[in-house]
Amino acid sequence: MKKILVISDSIVGNHFIKRIIQTHTSENIYYVVQMKKNEYKDVNTTRFKFYEFDPTSLYKISNLLKMEFIQVFIAMDNLADIENTIKNIRTIKKQLRIIVLNTWKLENEDSNVVLINSNEILASRLLDYLPNVPVIAHNVGMGEGEIMEVLVPFGSSFVYKHIGVIEQKNWRIVAIYRNRKLIMPSRRRMIQPNDLLLLVGEPEVLKSVYRAIKRELGQFPEPFGSDIYLYIDMSLMKVSKIKDLVKKAIFAHQQFKHNLIIKVVNPSNIDILAFIKEHASKNVLIDIEYDKKNLGIAFHYDMKYYHVGLVIVSRELFADFQMRKIFYEAHIPILKLSEKSVTSVKESVLILSDNRDLEKISATIFDISEQMGFNVELYNYLNEHQDAKEQVIEHYYNLSSIFSKSIKVNKESENPIRKLRKKENFIHILPFTEKLTTRRIYSLFSTDNEKLYYKLDNYHQIFIPV
């Protein structure tokens, strides 16, 4: 039987004793010391022993401390009474753990004295009711934010997503509360608007997850970054194509309303540099790399330095095997522009595959389509397995109702790539996975539409990291 000593001389102390009476376990026995006796209902007299005396008296408390207590709780209204009570306990018990309700700026260097700041607890509890502030479990685990609950808003990118497609690295969805009922998560469970998610994971990771859940449309290129980055390699492009690429990049930059950085490597034409400077506005920064550096290292440095969220490149640059690997390692969306018009694009096109990567990047696709004014079209090749595809289609239909964005699902009996090559113009959006970094020659006989992305090289394409 574990003995616990409670010393109370305050309203909070009385409430604490009442809560103990209601929630006590059969393994503890409580010794309650009060200056003035209080009456409590439903007290189990075999588990609670009450005493009425002044705990600041060393003589009186020393008799009680002849017993072996594992813990002492002190909740008193007078600071001097608390200090003298602690002093008395330490005179007799050097290592006994003492928990003190601290309503003042009381300090104690004793490692076995735990000071519970009442003002911080109350402020923290009030903070939990603020909108758009994550609710953190302070009294569970380490209390550092490794347990968090998040309300999923109606326009969240997590709404109508299956839990199985949400990448949960260093964090987990451990419970869902819906209509005041607990629902245990499973891979096929779909998140609904106004679900309350209970998350467990590393505190810094959970902060990022919280921001991702609360994110709505109109934020792209967030959360990948804040700026747009046009990458020009003069050694790979003709002068006329560079000018056209700059104009299209400026148009995209105006649509997304984020700063544009124009990065030029291997500068070899003064007229082109003059053209770029002429078309630059106040939200456009020009960065010319004159020194011969390792392109990969320089590129990754720029991604962090400029906080890049979208990289714009030419199809010639994306066709380069080494550059494609560099782009993939940056884990940032890539907009590959072709020679077709950008202003005349009306649809963003997705080709469904057996995997469900398109569900993972769905919020980004809707965000891009919303800002650029694109309709969303899904192409479903019926000669392939349909189970995973049907779940993706269901997910996109649900998101379309949330974001008031119509979608069209095309059922094709022939390979969608053949069908799409007959279309006039569109933008092809697909997941940027590692299989896209292999050399094109290795995918000549593949039936994977993602590996055959280059078959639609004449059209604009956006590669979104999964």
- Statement to judge: residues 376 and 454 lie in one domain: yes
Instruction: From 265, 300, 335, give the residue that closes a domain.
Output: 335
How many other C-beta atoms lie within 10 A of the C-beta of residue 133?
10
- Statement to judge: residues 41 and 112 lie in one domain: yes
- Statement to judge: residues 108 and 139 lie in one domain: no
- Statement to judge: residues 69 and 37 lie in one domain: yes
Q: What is the pLDDT of residue 323?
A: 92
Domain that holds residue 144: 128-214
- Statement to judge: residues 247 and 170 lie in one domain: no
pLDDT tens readout for residues 356-374: 888 888 888 988 998 888 9
Regions of the chain where pLDDT drops below 70: 24-26, 131-132, 138-144, 208, 215-217, 401-404
- Statement to judge: residues 153 and 239 lie in one domain: no
Q: What is the pLDDT of residue 364?
A: 87
- Statement to judge: residues 109 and 142 lie in one domain: no
Residue 170 inside a domain? The answer is: yes
pLDDT tens readout for residues 318-345: 999 999 999 999 999 999 999 999 999 9
Q: Which amino acid is at 65?
A: L
- Statement to judge: residues 111 and 7 lie in one domain: yes
* CA dihedral over 340, 319, 250, 246, signed as positive or negative: negative
In Å, what is the CA distance from 406 to each residue of 51, 373, 461? 72, 11, 21
Interhelix angle 362-372/387-402, rounded to 10 degrees, is 40
Instruction: From 296, 312, 335, give the residue that closes a domain.
Output: 335
Residue 222 inside a domain? The answer is: no
What's the number of domains the chain is made of? Answer: 4
- On whether the CB atoms of residues 64 and 5 are closer than 8 A, the answer is yes
Residue 342 inside a domain? The answer is: no
- Statement to judge: residues 242 and 181 lie in one domain: no
- Statement to judge: residues 373 and 447 lie in one domain: yes
Instruction: From 73, 102, 122, give the residue that closes a domain.
Output: 122
**Whether the predicted model's global pTM rises above the 0.85 cut:** no
DSSP characters for 282-345?
A: TTEEEEEE-S---HHHHHHHHHHHTTEEEEEEEHHHHHSHHHHHHHHHHT--EEEE-SS-STT-
- Statement to judge: residues 358 and 458 lie in one domain: yes
Residue 328 inside a domain? The answer is: yes
- Statement to judge: residues 73 and 103 lie in one domain: yes
